[in-house]
Amino acid sequence: MSGYPHGVAQATRTDPLRVLEEIKRQSLEALGGLPGTLYGPVEDALKLAVLKGDGKTNHYEEQAALWVLRQHQAAHVMRFRQQVAQAFDDFRALRIRSGGEVTLRLVDEQQLEYELASGRLNESLVARFARPLDTLQGRLQNLCEAMRVPMGANPIGPERLVAAFAQTLLDAQVSDSLRGRLFRHYETELIRVLGELYARINTLLATSGYGGAVAPPQPRPPQEDIRRGFGDGMPSPQGFGGFEGFGAPSPGPASAAGAGNFGRTLSTPMSQQEIAAMASELAQLRTQLHAWRETVPRSDASPASGGMSGADRAVMQRRELRVDEILSVASLLQAEPPDAFARALAVSGRLGETIRDHLQDGARRLGLNPDQACFSPEEEDAIDLVALLFDSLFRHNALQDRARRLYARLVLPYVKVALTDNAVFVKREHPARRLLDAITEACEGNDGETPQDRELLDRATEISQRIVADYNEDLAVFELAHAELDALLAQQRRRFELQEQRAAKATYGRERLGAARSQAETALHERLGDSSLTQAVAEFLAMPWRHHVVQTLLRDNADPRRHAEAIALGDALLMADRLAQQNRGRELADQLLALQPAIIECLASSGLDDSAAQHGMAGLVRALIDPDTSRRVRPVPPIAVPEDDAGEGERRLWLAGGTDTIRHDALLAERMRELDVGDWVRLTNAEGETTAAKVAWVSPLTSRYLLVNRRGLRVLVASVEELAALAGSNRLSIGAERTAFDEAMRQVRRHLDRATGTR
């Protein structure tokens, strides 16, 4: 492959088979999970249809059939991916294309229905994407000529993609109406994905030399400038996606990694500015790492350790281990139990030393004498960065004990990735990076309490085992694993969003209840105050009337008339008590007769039926008809709060204070007010555990912020003053990254800066 960066026209063409493999990789990445994304929207549409239905359509049968489909979702996704992959095999003529006589056979009714639905969908998509499809057809023709095979059907054309979907569902028992819904949602998803995919594939073909006209070659950028971004000894990039790694040899035609690493060398084109920016970022990271390493005492002073200075190595005349040797050692150890790494993850700072010890032990098994070899500086960088990365993931994410072994399995595969492709530390689209983000999303805060949570943990565990078994310097393993796990996460994210909404509604309900109780308490204090009342009237005001005021505020908040009537009832009872005290019997009788409907309604709002309410009214009358009934100032009894409103779990969500009287930094409070819904922060609880939290909702009543974790579960409800107090005590940090890998690398850089005293 040419050494020109992506985005620069090349005079020579890239190997057509490698280009086709890259088109296949990008297509599977973009399209592979589509069947798994349909069931959620279809289920929502069915629920809406049930609510609006006229009873003529049996939507419940459709829901039952959809439930069966969801049970086989993983199989459908895999079958669909196989169909798409088979289209590329057919295009390469790896399968004998049909010719000659075609065997006639009967077509069953269900297949005929699928073919009719497929035909309609195909026509719609062809009309919509006519221009990019024409361009793509011409460039694929050039690709076929280069491969010296006859032109086949476009493997990602609408016809093949629609046929792939129909074949995926062909054996499923699906009613006509449900089939129509599935095809409509599939069309919506294809329209969303295909425009960008066709543009990327057309650009890829053009930049690889299979466009219309080939532009003249441009001069290479100065290699010295690119090398300077990597530090001494680093190879120049073949475009940033092609960073061979920490000291790895440049892949050539005979490279063993060859086609396996092609996903890194022929990814989406990037500009030279993007390449330079990421190269500079990586160089800065390595500089920080080297400065940090000088401050860290090493206990691994064995001859194979790279902790010695270059002068020590020269004196003892030891050679540096080659990257392919380290890869062989790591591959040997990769399938072994990860117990040592799991124990090291439990102790901050131990993982790097454990990785070195394991690699040294593996080198001995392969016959490499540790007394005569040592790690190169680039290999040291890879080991330390992976160790710091995994340490940071465990320190700054709420990962349970079960996750420790899962991550421990991935340590050596990620060391191999770092050795062969250091772009993983600075390139956000890197497949290994995306997989680690998905695994962390599946595991963070997941204690496996629900079947869905257990399914996520089981799938993440299965995927980590698959990486260990299958990874051999081919990043496609990470891409396929990420696509599978992300398809499952896509279903769960909708559930998490609903949990966020429920948390916001529950919090708002508690706030409204608290505000209503506070108003009712104030109204009661104003009326009991210094008034001398009979016991019956005081108890009525303190219990059913106070509750009635709360209910009118909650249920009839938009109707101030109802609240005014409830307040007026309390005042009228005070007047009735005074009339009784003054022995004004006729006026008292008139007053009680006028109040009877309101008193009955007040008692009924406390849950009393009509008979009990009438009995309560009679007791109030009996207490008032005797003018000699004792009267005195009654204290206001505390309000009875149900246990579920004031449980320990709820109190832990709210910090002490809650007003601007709490001690806080005013500037920090102003910064907290700038937080928007969707912003992420890092929150440390009283036990020292750190977790990512998102601003899910801001109360319109109290301006408090609701923070939830990645699973949509409530973590904290607090005012800006409380958040500022947390930030001032280093228990809350703002500006956190949205993905776990980005945040872990940010924390790694901060750790390196603090350790070297640069901050």
522-534 pLDDT tens trace: 888 888 877 788 8
pLDDT of residue 192: 86
Band of residue 203 on the pLDDT scale cut at 50, 70, 90: confident
Beta strands in 634-738 (DSSP E): 680-684, 690-698, 705-708, 714-718, 732-734
Domains of the chain, with CATH numbers? 16-97+106-210 (no CATH), 270-296+304-474 (no CATH), 506-640 (no CATH), 653-756 (2.30.30.140)
pLDDT of residue 641: 55
Tokens of 128: 């919509």
| Rounded CA separation 633/394 (Å) | 61
DSSP 647-662: -HHHHTTS-S--STTS
Band of residue 112 on the pLDDT scale cut at 50, 70, 90: low
Q: Report the mean per-residue pLDDT for the chain.
A: 76
Band of residue 669 on the pLDDT scale cut at 50, 70, 90: confident
Band of residue 305 on the pLDDT scale cut at 50, 70, 90: very low
The answer to whether the Cα torsion of 363, 366, 368, 369 is positive or negative is positive
Q: Highest mean pLDDT: which of 156-160, 609-613, 700-704?
A: 156-160
Contacts of 436 by beta carbon, 8 Å cutoff, 6+ apart: 393, 410, 414, 740, 741
Mean pLDDT over 330-346 rounds to 89
DSSP 34-87: HHHHHHHHHHHHHHHHHHH--SSS-HHHHHHHHHHHHHTHHHHHHHHHHHHHHH
| Rounded CA separation 353/351 (Å) | 5
| Rounded CA separation 42/34 (Å) | 13
- Note whether 711 and 723 are within 8 A (CB): no
pLDDT of residue 181: 80
| Rounded CA separation 477/465 (Å) | 12
State yes or no: pLDDT of 240 exceeds 70: no
Question: Is residue 414 classed as helix, strand or coil in its secondary structure?
Answer: helix
Find, among 155, 168, 181, 211, the residue nearest to 30 by Cα.
155
Question: Is residue 506 classed as helix, strand or coil in its secondary structure?
Answer: helix
State yes or no: pLDDT of 99 exceeds 60: no
Please write the tens of the pLDDT for every residue from 674-721. Answer: 888 888 888 887 777 777 788 888 888 888 899 888 778 888 888 888
- Note whether 386 and 354 are within 8 A (CB): no
**Measured CA angle at 130 (ends 89, 207), to 5 deg:** 60
State yes or no: pLDDT of 63 exceeds 80: no
Mean pLDDT over 253-261 rounds to 34
Mean pLDDT over 595-602 rounds to 86
Tokens of 590: 């008139």
pLDDT of residue 654: 43
- Note whether 226 and 276 are within 8 A (CB): yes
